Every structure is written in structure tokens, then in C-alpha cells.
Structure 1
């Protein structure tokens, strides 16, 4: 039916727009116009629908089929063919007018496509890449939650790219053209955002689970189950689950999202009935809610037995069930049920996101970043607002308890007196405990300072001066200096997320890992890769990330080799210019088997090197103004005639003036070397 609709619409458009040559040759896209953001290709692509699913690439290339590629309606960002049994071929022409080759990536930012094959044809070469969720993640050209095709485009050449798409799920095609370096950076940023979302969801689940054990209120348990199932549904929806949980399961990629939505809706119905007490408040509506729970249990079984027959019924049932929950929330709100106001507002966000997702899947609205990411934003708002609802419920319980206590206050006066005495006693104990904790923190501070002490001989040979200033007694920064051989020295500087005791404990443990590998006479990049593997094996459960920079200084060859794991660039101060030691890889703790690049610089006598953590420049004053990297670089240049110790003291004084009484927000570490 959907294929018929697409063919009819294409025919109407062809008749209406005939004077504009809708079947004319597609335009060539010059890949040199790609910047740090992607180019969306849908408006530049022609489409061929194959309802027989038998056409091969050779057949598609024939003249008879080339003329059948047409322009089809789409949003700026994506095609939306909804649920279709056809195979779709898409064609676009690219051009590299520059004489140098360029690394690009074609990205299809939608994870639930069974077949997603790319054919790259140019006068110089032909590339065929198979992908889609039917291809295990380990066999794909780029390990990502989306389908990513890296291509090296030869200089001064043209090429035609074909995409072959087929899927039992809704066929949505957000097709993007990226510069390879820009996309790698985007991937890191995207993983950080996803880590924040799922980290918040996990934290909320754990917190409310503790509240459940304390209060024994089943609503908190239902909320925990709801948060976890919603987070898993979002992970399935945006491909995170395919990347990390079931990398080689096409069955899960095909079925999981609708099965998980059913689970979420069942939990929502149970949570709503329990929280709003609909059995007493709206008994007639409550009966329908129980029927919908049964339906949402039966439909997934039928859906598994016959995917094609029940997929659209399943999607429509989700929308109806969500609408029914909204009706219950509105009705309870009209009954002046206080907690229903929070529930209504919370579910309204999720309901809107679910409706947008359903309409997109059925092809009624376009596919773009808003309609794809809407469920994730909606679920985040829903989690927070439901947490407020439970907090209000808890606050109501407290007020009721206070009222009851007021009624028996006269009988509890003596008990209150005894309680005050016990409080005084406990306060004394607490003060003693606090004093002990202060002593322990002082000891911890000394231990950490001692662990950072470097052999004075090395400091003298390197003409090195450093400053280490944690925000509190202990911090999350650390550094290490060692000598590899007669002429080569290795410096490590690292920064764990956060600060205080938690970050300090992590850094001390991580430093223990580094001490075992730091003297390996391997390149900095290889040491960094080993360091990341050890970190992931031992500390991934701590949900902590780490930036690090390893610098090898060879005084014989006057060279610097370095590898950076997301760490702020070090500064090599030459006579007339500044050269930055840029990042060569992502932060540690994000993913195993991460590759780190390596760079090499030369230095001359009289050059100066500064290595530091982000606490040096990420300082904010009372006006929320940041000191910033540019100010730091300018300070280094303007103090070129001063000694290293004077430069670092001047930096600390400048920061103090800039903060103007505001406390520093992060640990500060800086090492300076005069060559």
C-alpha cells in the first residue's frame, strides 16, 4: 500500500512539475564544500523503487533503469518510506574538484534498517560495502550505532554513489555527508551526550530504589522499573543497544523497539493505577486500563509470530494506549487530585514524543533530527517530572505525619527532652567523627602529594617547574615523570572527571595502573592504548572518564612525540610562535579497543613547553566569564622573558585577580619545561 502511495505521488509530481525537468540528471555535489557540519543529501538524490526486490546493481546501472530514477518528496534531512516491502535504490553524484584526496563518510543516521548497502563508482575504482543490522557490527566498516561508510575520494574526480535499502521496519533515511575528521569528533561528542542521558537515568533509578527500600512504597519500585525500561527502549530506538548490548542480533534489531514500548506502556498503566488510585477515583476508566494491559501482553506475542501482519496494529495500539493514559491523567486532574497534575504534565511529554515517533514511522510527518530524537527528550522530561510527582507524594506523607505528631505533642514532651539529649550526644560523636575525617583528609592529601614527588635529578635535567593546586585537600589531577633511557624522558599528565575524594581515589588507583606500563619503550600512542584497555577492564564500573597526555622528550634528537586522549592541547612556545600539541584520540573510559594517533614535533634550544589540565583556563568569575585558552596563550607569550617559576606564579596571581573572590571550580596542574 505504501509503495502504491509513493508511486502515485511521484507520478502526480512528475506531471505537475514536468516543465521543471524532474527527471533531469541529478546535480553533482562538490565534497569540498563540507565543513564541520554535515551536508544532507536527500534533496540531491534520485530514487528507484523495486517492488520485486530482485534488481541487482548491474541491472540498476542499465540505461533502462537509470532513466527510472526520479525525485521523490522528502524533508531537508531524510526520506520517509514508512513500512514498505519494496527495495529502494538511491543515487547521488559527487565531485572532488581539489587535486588532493579527501576522506569522507556517508552516514545513514537511523539504526533499524536491515539492508543498507553502498556502491561507490568512479573512473578510478569501484567499492561495494554491505551493511544494515543484518551485518554483525564487527564486520561493518565503521563501528557505530548508525550505518557509516568511510570513503577516500580521489582528487580531481567524479563518482556516483548508490544506496540499496530494504527493511521490514519503517524505512527512514536521514542521509548525511561528513568530513571524516569532523564526524569522528561528532561521534565522541555524541557518545558523551548519550552517556550523560543514560547516566542520569541510572542515577535516578538507583536513588529511587533506595527510597523504595526505605519507605516500602511500591510506587517507587514501579518508577524504577519504568525508568529502566524507558532507558532501554531509548537505547534500542537510537541504536545504542545495537552497538553495546546486542551487537550481532538482527532479531532484536527488528523486534525489540515495539516489544519494549509495550513493556513501558504496561508499566505506565500499572504505575498510573497505583499512583492515582484509579480503581476508586475513576472505576469505569480503570476497567478499560486493565483490558489495555492484557492487550499489550497479547499483541507482542502475535507480533512475534507474524511481524508483517501485526506491525502496524502494534504501532497504532501503542498510540491508543498512550492516549488512554493521557485521558485518565486529565480526568484525575479534574477531580482535583494533586499528584495527577504532576503525572499529567510528565506523561504529556512522553505522549507527545510517542505520537511524533508513531506518525513518523507511519509516514505522516517527515523524518528529521527532531522527530528522531524526540522520544529521548520526551523520556528525559517524563523521568524528571515523575520524580517530582513522587517527591510531592513524599512531601505530602511528611506533612500528614507532622499533623499526626502535633496531635500527640503533649504526650511526647518527655520523649522530646530525651531525644534532645541524645541529639547532643550524637552531635558530639559527629564532631569527633568530623575531626577524624579532617585528619584522614590531611593524611590523604600528604599521600597524594608524596605520590606526585618526582626525582629532583629529573626535574633539574628537564629544567622543569610545576604547580599542583587541587580544589579541596585532594584532587583528580595527577602527573608522572620518568626516564626511559639515557636521552629520552616521558611525561604523563591526566585529569579524572570530578574532583575531591572520589576523583582522588580514582586517580590514585589509575596511577597504579600507569606505573606498571610507563617504562615500556613503546610509542606514546601504544602506551595510551594499553592504558585505556587497563582502565576499561578495571574501572569502567565507576562511570568515570579520564583525559590524558603522554609526551616523550628526546634530548638527543630534539624531538617530542606525543599522544593525547581528549586532553587540552599542550603549548610549545617557540621564539616567534605558539605550536599546540592537539588531541589525537577520544577520552579514556568511553570504549575499548580505541586507537590513538601520534604526532611528532621538533624543538630548539630556548623553546619552552607548558603541559596543563583544563583547570588552568576553565575558571569562571562572578559574571560567568571564562578565563579561556586564548587568555592563557597570551599570558605565555607576554611572559616569555620571565623564568618558569615566575611565569607560573604570575599565572596563579592573574587567575586570582580574574576570579575576584570566586572559588576555583576545578583542580589546577601545570608543568613548564625550558629546553
Structure 2
């Protein structure tokens, strides 16, 4: 497997790149080369021969001004294409910044005479002017003798002239005060104007095709991420495609400059550098999102941070500064490619079989970038932008991946559909059987529910019967209560009875829980209380209730708060004992209501309880408000504050309603509970008792 990795991802892409380079117009030769400033094309006999490259030795005059005589300067020769900073056995190196004149004498073939010919120039850094036989036929940018008078601009141009002689002299004045790689960097071609137009159209077609393909794929992947959000890799790939799409418009045909010629070259140069420093981090993020288990997050993060910082510096740097420092980023790209190659060798191919297209495309793209860097940093000349075409191929492979994924998912969907159809048939049969069973069981359940409801109504009536009737008359005492169980039956119990002349006992208890079980506890409580009703001390009654419940109903594990109070209308006293019951409210005539606190723990927990009775004044006109905890508690988030708030509202309502009837007073208090609970459902029984003493003596 290791050998197949090396062969598939290194030797395979490398061989493909070599094949592309050999078959490209850059390397295709026609055997014609310039020698010592001259080139003989008279051997061309075919009028449809096409464009001919003028590669070879051109006459080169360093720091020669336009129109200045050749005799004033030493004549040398330089290889075209190539930078004048290159040094070889037959060529000396010149400074980056300056100006020079290139000359070449061309002997034209007979078939080109009396025709309109075209001289095609590609990348010439960074401004130039072209003369044919001493006449200016065009320029790119504004070449000058210093940085102030030079306006750089690098773009491909076709210059037309009429061939009326057997030979011509091409003179190109080049000045550079911006680029770190000056001179004529791409081949110069000559040929019939129609051939030049065809060549230019072909190049433009491929560039527009690449631009359109990258733009469409970029937008498609971004929208795929926006709609699916299942993975960020389409977003990174889409952004990378859009950045390289912009870069595509700046190379070869330079589409952006073709449609927007008014854009300054300084901006074009800056955008060109930024597309490189912005595109690399997007590719790193894409690669790491697809092959996350194999890449180092530290390296990816460091690469992204370095690229961001470099992009910021490039954004605010001038053209000379950016051209000089772009080599730093080239070395960073070289390190990144080496790391990604290393990562590819670690990838488990069997596990990542679906991403073979991405791996193969990455290998081709990496080697293509290395080829471009070799041209730029070693040969110091222009290239055919193999990375540009490799990227288009990479996007094509990505589309194959998408097609493969869609095909696989379609096959899975079709298989699932067939399985679903079979399952649906089986489910339909099961459904028919289940429907019949459900109908039978529903019929039984409905009968049971009707029976249960009937029994609950009976239990409800029974429970209502054990409560003190509202029409009971007790001398010296008026009372009213509201009993609202959560369900049909509840767990609250109350009793108001005259146990001795002038002595009225009030009982309120709350069995923990609600529903049938709690209601059964109230039945038991009623039974036990009736036996203990005549005991004189409320605390003694509570202790005895606790003892009996623990002995008789220990298995139920039921607890309940309870309060018993005796109102003595003759002594005008109120004696009470409260076992774990919430604070109750007492209002004496002419005073603000006060709280009655519990005097012992809740019943049903311990056999031995410390419960005491307390006696307080209860003069004529006093009011007593007793209630279960369902009135002041709910399940809101801030339940403690709600409980305190409810107590304050109830106390205030009791004070303000001291002249109101007991019935109206209780209704107002119940509204407080409904108001603070809001839309939340009630979760406990509510019992509210209002007792008032009055003078029963006849005047």
C-alpha cells in the first residue's frame, strides 16, 4: 500500500505535469531561434504556419535611452524569455531597477510580405514601448528613465504593422522600477494578424472557461454549505474557488484588465498578491476539514495566522514592498506543500476511499505550484501557469466527487425506498391487526373510564360530605371556605365545629400529594380526628394523630401538615397548635394582619414530636384566615420569592377587605393565586377558610 501511495500521488501527477509542459506551446519548438540579435524566418513556406516564437539571443543595451545611438553603449546579448537579473556563462546580471533596450533583426519569409503582421508580447516587467524599423507601434504602461516617470503595467498585447520589407528590426524599450523580476518574461511571437487573433481567442476562451467554472463551483459550494450546514468543507472550498477565480482574471489574458482598463496597475498588483495569500489558508482549512484526523491543527492554525498577517501587510504595503516580499510567501507555500505531501502519505486510503479524487487533485495541484515556483524563483521567468490549469482540473475532480457522492446516495435512497415499500406493506398488515386490537382495548378502556369516573364522582360526593357544611350556624362565629381539589378528589381536609358552648374548633390539614391516594388519607384523617375531637388541647390532638398514623398507616409513608385551633368566644382567646403548616394570618380589629407561625414539625415523620399550643387574644371582630400551601406555592422558577410575594398580597387584601363579606374576601384571595400563577397550570389542591367572631348578645 505504501508503494502504491507514492506511485499514485507523486509519480502519477508528476508525469502528468511533464506531459502537459511538453505538449504546451511554451515548450513546443519549431527549431527557429535567434542568435546574436538576428533570426531568419525565410524558411517558412506555409502561409498558415501560424505564430512563431522569437526566442533566443536578443541584442541588449543596458541604460540606453530611446533613440540614443547604439555606438554610445557596449552591445551585449541576452536570452529571451528571461529576466535581465539572470546570470549565466554568456550573460551577465544587471540590477533589478533601471531601463534597457532590446533589439532583434528578423528576416521575414516571402509568404508574409505585404501582409499585416502581429507582434505579441506577454509579461514584460514593468513598462515598455515597441518600435518596428524605428516607428513606434505601441506601448504598455509608460516607460521612463526613473521611477517617477515610469508607470508600470503588465498585460499581454498584440501590436500590428504592415510588412513592406524583407527584414524588420524590433526594438523594445523596457523600464522597471517596481518588479523584482524585470525584463521580457514570456516568449515574443510574430506572425500573421489573423493567426495572432486565433491564438489570443483560444487563450481567452480557456481563461474565460476557467474563470466561469471556478465562479460557478465556488458559488455552488457556498450555497451547498448554507443549505445543508452538515460540514464546513464546502464553504472553505467555495471560498477558495472564488479567490482563485479572481486570481484567474489576473493571469494569461488578464480578463479583469481587459474589461476594466482604468484600474491602476498598483491595484492589480496588490490584488494578485492578496489572492495568493488569501487562497492558501482557505485551501488549508478545506484540506484539514476533510482529513481532520491526519493533519496537525497547530500547523493549520499557524499557517492561517501567518497568511492573515501577510495579507494585512500586503494590503497596506506599496508595490515595490509587496513585490520584494512575495518571495517570503513563496517559501511558505513550499513548506506547506511539503507538509501536505507528508500528510497524504499518512492517509488511510481504504478508510478515505470516497475522497480519492481530492487526494489525486491535491497531488496534481501541489506539483503544478512547485513547477510555477521553479520558473519564478529558479529560472526567473514567466510560466504557463500550470497551477492555474491544475486548479481547474482539481475543481473538476471535486465535481466528480460530488457526482460520486450523489450517485452513491441515490443508490442508497433507491435501496431504502424498496426496503421502505416492503416495510410499509408489512406495517400495513400489522396496522390492520393493531387497529382491531386497539379498538377492542379502547372499548374496554372506555368502559373502565366510565366506571372509574362514576366511582370518582361518588368519592367526590363522599369527600364533600365529610367537610363542614357552609350553612352550619355557630353562635358568635361566621365562617366561609373554598375547597378546590386539583382533580375530582383531593387531599385537603377541614372541619369547623362547636365542641363546647362558646368554644369553636377549626381544623385544616393537607395530605401530601393529590388525587385518589390523598383523598383516602383525608378519609382516614377524618375517622381518627372524630375519635380525638373531644380532647381539650390542640397540641395533644396533633401528637395523638401522629402516633396513630405511624402505627396504622406506616406503609403508606404519608406525611401531612395540620393546624388545629380553638376559638373561645367568651374569653375572646384563640388557642392553636400548628404541625408544619404554612404561616396563617390573623387580623385583630383596627390592626394590620399578623402571621401565626407553626409550633411543631410536620406529622408522619417521627413518633416523638415537640408540639406546643399557644394562646393569643381573639376579641370580637377578629378575623382568621387559614389556607393550604397550594394557595401560595407554585412551580415557577423563583418559587421562594413568589411565595413571599403571595403572602404580602394576601395580607394586604385581608386588611383592605376588612369591611367585605367573607365570601367576597376569599374570592379576591383566590384571584391572587391565579394572577401570580399566570398561564402555568395549578399543581396542588387549594383550601381557604375565613373565620370571623361577632357579638351574639341581643341588645
TM-score (norm 2): 0.46
Q: Which of structures 1 and 2 has the bigger CA Rg?
A: 2
